[in-house]
Structure formats: structure tokens, C-alpha cells
Structure 1
Amino acid sequence: MSTLSGQRPSRQGEHMTAPVPRLYHAAPSYYSMIARLALIEAGVPFEPVRLDIHRRKQQLDPDYVRINPDMTVPALAWPGRILADSRLILAEAFASLPASAESEAWVDKHYAFPIEELTMGRLMATNPLARRFFPRTLVSIHARLLTLAEAHPDLAERYRHRAERFAERIETFDPSAVVGLFAHRLAEAESLLDQLDAALADGRSFLDGQAYGPADVVWTVFLARMRFVGRAEAVTRRPSLARYEAAMSARPSHHAADLWTKLHPLRMLRQLFG
């Protein structure tokens, strides 16, 4: 698989005898951040394989489609076994931790929120270039998926199914409606932050009250995304939430997992044109 070759295995896995899974991910991908943070916090060794999902669009390569038919990142692959979704990876990473009902409820709330509509909604609402460029990119990828379906009959159904998803995204990110879309999603995010702040008001260190777990992973990444979309004050003006965010961001895993709290133009340019 030459186009999807891996980087050097994580040093965490040097003394392991079992096969080390490969994590297919992209640095700026929100759900890749969840997978990276979950695996690092749980101490699960992995070999990172970075995909260029912007310029080269490696997530559409036939080799990767055979790994993850949804053509998304992340995906965690062992020989004969693949977890092609960040929530599955999250559950696998913390499989040995007894799941509390409260923690599971927080994870459910997180995954019910359409994070892309907040992220791209903000970029398109505030940046005329993004408002022009992103819809055109979606249209281009939609056309490419249909072309790939013709070129690879064995994967045609998968490519056409993904093309249908992109048709929906083209409609969702209509430039004429994106300002309202962002305002709506931001209001929903603020409501979730209110709920988080209330839950943390008892001074607990973690969302399930006992130990760092899956709920802490997803909401740490969500809070980083609030900063990414320029709404840091939505976190800092809520005292309990501000305390929690400070504690989570101080953990070594926050840096190790490369959680983006702002757009990194130079890193994006290197990926696009390097």
C-alpha cells in the first residue's frame, strides 16, 4: 500500500509482542484528535499513518476504501480487524474501564452534535474565501467519487454511497444559509456548555466523577474546538468548565495528541502544497 505507508511505530509499542494497530488519521481532523487522545490516555500503543485528506485526498484511494468504506478518518487497523470510527476506537481504548451510565450519556450527547456544521459554519460565516471555496470543493469531490465508482466496479457501491453523503453536505453548506447555520449550532453548543458547567459544579475532576475516561476525551476535544472557532470566552466565563478545561489541557496528552485550539495556516499550507 505505497500511498498509505506508515510512519515509525510509536515507542510505546517497542516492548509489545502483540501486533501494534495502525491509526490512519489526519492532523486537523476533529475525530482523529479524539482517536489520538483516547489511545494516548489509555496507554494503547499504535503506529500513526497520516493521510493527506485535503490536497491528495488519500481517504478516497481504493486502498483506503478497502480499509474504511466510509472514507473518513480515523480508522484503527489490526490484521483482520478494523475500527473505522472514532467512537469505536474510544470504546476499544477504554475497554478495561467500567463504563458509568453518566459517562456514556455524556459521550452520547457529544456524538449527537454535528461538529462539522459548527466548524465549517464558522469559517464560512466569517471568511468570504471559505464561503466560496468550500462548497466548490464539495462539488468537486462529489464528481470525483462518481468517477471513481466508474473506474473501480468492485468499490462502486461504496463510492456512490459516499457521493450521496456529499450531495447532502453540498445542500447543508449552502453559502446563502451558512450564517444562520453557524448561529444555530453555536446556540446548541452554548447549551451543552451550560450542562457541562452544571455537572462540574460539584468540583469533580472528571466527568464520571471517578477517573479519566471516554467522556473526558470527547469533551476535552470539544472544548479545544470551541477555542478553534473563536469562542474561548464561552468556556472561560463558566467557572467550573474553565477549571475543568485548564486541568484537561495541562495533561501531557493534550499536547501529545496534537489537539488544535486554533487554525495553523502554515501547517495547512504545507499539507496542501508541500
Structure 2
Amino acid sequence: MTEFAKLSGARPRLYQTPSSYYSMIARLALAEGGIAYERLFVDIHFRLGQQQPDYVRLNPGMTVPTLVLADRVLTESRDIAEYALGAATDPETRAWLDLHYAYPIEELTFGGILARNPLARILIPKRLESIRRQLLAQAARNPDLASVYQARAAVFAERVEAFEPDAVVALSQQRRTEAIGFMDRLEQTLRDGRPVLVPPAYGVADVVWTVFLGRMEFAGLGAEIPKRPALARYWTALQARPSFAAADIWTKFHIGRLIGGILGIGRG
């Protein structure tokens, strides 16, 4: 049996990666909800643990996070956040969630790396193509999961095209412009002095936009936040919440923590 098949326990299990944007959303929501859980590391970069057949049976999308509950498995960070904090039933919260999840955050992160680094423009597309081939090889080795692996391989074929070196600079600039537009929209909403996006209390909309603002710092757009006073006030308050530290929200890259997770030491 693999590591995914052996694990068991009464508490929910969260398969995640420390640096993963959507894993951070899950961790923050669970921390805010006061839900105890077992945090388990998935090496999505080197060992490609998300491609292991037992993990694929948990999460056919081969993504992180995955939350395993006693009665079901949640494979989307939005579903995990709503499980932890309650379903978004009001139109304003749903609108903030829809806006957030329609934005391809990975195109900002990787697009920026590719736009700035000529070596990355060579290496990352090659790595994406290598993963695509590995997925097809997994399809051949696991006939019962062949269609799932083939569908995921098609996603990576699309990523190879999206991150094509000649187009990536324009793509990166487009995503940066959109991200700054989101910060403007947050500023406009918060100008009335509200402490949270949808009063009266911190909720699922605040969770996803907390992580978004952390990614703005991570992606080199953090200087845009102080230009917007209401947003700066909000961001300061978000970082002061105990859940922010408990969820390990990355505002910069931590190579030591990532390696520690891969080696099975420290926080996973």
C-alpha cells in the first residue's frame, strides 16, 4: 500500500503542500473554523505524489488540497472553506468567491517567473511537458484510471501552450493588471470602514482574499497595498489574526520549509 492508503484516524486529514495557494485557503478556513485536523504533506514538485494511484482515487483532479472526512472527500478549496465556515448563501459572499475563483492565480505566479527569468522560460515548459508524458505513462500502467490520467495530461498540454515563451510576457502583464484591479475593487468596498468584506463577521470571502493578498506580496505586488489606505488597514488586521500564523500563509518563498516537508521534517 502507498502512504495514502495507510493513513487513518478519527480527525479529518488534509493532504496539502505548504506553498500551494489553494492549500493555504484550506488551512486558513480550518483554522478560522476551529477544526482540528491532521496535516499531511504531498510532494507535488519532485516526487509528484499527486499522481500516485491511491491519491488519484481520492482526488481525480490530482490537485492539492484534499480534505478527507468521515463521510466524504472534498477536493476543492472553496468547498473546504465553506465546510469549515458555513456555506456562502448570501449573494455578496458568493460574488466575492466567484470573482476570486475565476482568476487563474497560477498564471500570475508562474507567468511572472517566466517573464522575468529567461532560463525559466526554457526549463518550466520542458518540465510541464515532462509531467504531461508522465501522466500518459501512468495511464498506461493503471488502466482503471486511464481516462483520469489522460484528462489531466490534456490540462498540462494546455499549460504548455499557455506558458509558451513568446506569449508569456503579455500573459503575465495581463494577470498583473487584473490583480491590481482586484485590489482597487477591494479598496472601494472597504472605504466605508467595514472590518470585513461581508459584515458582520470574518467569513469565507475574507479567507480567500486574505490568501490572495498574501500572494500579491509573494508575487512582487505587495507595494500596491499601501497605496490603498482601506486595503492596507484590512491587510494589517488580517495578518494580526491568530489564524494567519496558524495557517502558515506564505507572503514570500520559504525554501527551508518546502524542503522540510519533502524530507518529512518540520511542518508539512
TM-score (norm: length of structure 2): 0.93
3-state DSSP class of the match of 2:68? strand
Identical-pair percentage: 50
The amino acid across from 1:234 in the alignment is E
Q: CA deviation at 1:63?
A: 0.6
Which aligned pairs between 1:119-134 and structure 2 lie closer than 5 A?
119-134=109-124
Q: CA deviation at 1:130?
A: 2.2
Q: Do residues 29 (structure 1) and 20 (structure 2) align?
A: yes
Q: Is the 8 A contact 1:22 1:76 kept in 2?
A: yes
Q: Is the 8 A contact 1:193 1:235 kept in 2?
A: yes
- C-alpha change, 1:246 and 1:6, in structure 2 (3 Å) is farther
1:15 corresponds to: none
Which aligned pairs between 1:231-250 and structure 2 lie closer than 5 A?
231-250=221-240
Q: CA deviation at 1:5?
A: 7.4
Q: CA deviation at 1:106?
A: 0.7
The amino acid across from 1:75 in the alignment is T
Q: CA deviation at 1:45?
A: 1.6
Q: Is the 8 A contact 1:44 1:93 kept in 2?
A: yes
Greater shift in the superposed pair: 25-34 or 123-132: 123-132
Separation of aligned partners in 1, 2:157 and 2:34 = 39
1:161 corresponds to: 151
Q: CA deviation at 1:7?
A: 8.7
- C-alpha change, 1:173 and 1:213, in structure 2 (3 Å) is same
Separation of aligned partners in 2, 1:80 and 1:273 = 31
Which aligned pairs between 1:202-241 and structure 2 lie closer than 5 A?
202-241=192-231
Q: Is the 8 A contact 2:113 2:120 kept in 1?
A: yes
- C-alpha change, 1:178 and 1:271, in structure 2 (3 Å) is farther
Q: Is the 8 A contact 2:16 2:64 kept in 1?
A: yes
Q: Is the 8 A contact 1:55 1:273 kept in 2?
A: no
Separation of aligned partners in 1, 2:95 and 2:119 = 38
Q: Is the 8 A contact 1:22 1:78 kept in 2?
A: yes
3-state DSSP class of the match of 1:206? coil
Q: CA deviation at 1:20?
A: 1.7
Deviation readout 1:170-228 (Å, 9 max, x if unpaired):
10011121111110001011111111000000000100021010000000000000000
Deviation readout 1:23-70 (Å, 9 max, x if unpaired):
110001000000000011011121111101111010000010000000
2:37 corresponds to: 46
Q: Is the 8 A contact 1:7 1:48 kept in 2?
A: no
1:104 corresponds to: 94
Structure 2 segments unaligned to the other structure (5+ residues): none
Q: Do residues 71 (structure 1) and 62 (structure 2) align?
A: yes
- C-alpha change, 1:65 and 1:110, in structure 2 (3 Å) is same
Structure 1 segments unaligned to the other structure (5+ residues): 10-18
2:84 corresponds to: 93
- C-alpha change, 1:6 and 1:103, in structure 2 (3 Å) is farther
Aligned mate of 2:133, from 139, 143, 148: 143
Q: CA deviation at 1:8?
A: 11
Q: CA deviation at 1:98?
A: 6.8
1:16 corresponds to: none
Q: Is the 8 A contact 1:6 1:49 kept in 2?
A: no
Q: Do residues 182 (structure 1) and 172 (structure 2) align?
A: yes
- C-alpha change, 1:132 and 1:270, in structure 2 (3 Å) is farther
Separation of aligned partners in 1, 2:236 and 2:201 = 17
Q: CA deviation at 1:150?
A: 0.4
Q: Do residues 253 (structure 1) and 251 (structure 2) align?
A: no
Aligned mate of 1:82, from 43, 65, 73: 73
TM-score (norm: length of structure 1): 0.91
The amino acid across from 2:161 in the alignment is E
